[in-house]
Amino acid sequence: MSTSKILLVVCIAAMIATIVAVDVLFFRDRFWERLIANIGIVLVFGAFYLRFLR
């Protein structure tokens, strides 16, 4: 595996861990707030990937 693919896998694993942690800790019973927070987290990780890892 190349270095860029390893970084991509690590970035995706970190994103999934962050989403699960935020869902469990803060937004367990709130659907819309959870959805908006998850979309925001994905956008932040996507922007980070495009800016620094591409």
**For the segment 1-54, what is each residue's pLDDT rounded down to a tens digit?**
788 889 889 989 999 999 999 999 998 899 999 999 999 999 999 998 889 877
Give me 6's structure tokens: 């390893």
Specify the pTM. 0.83
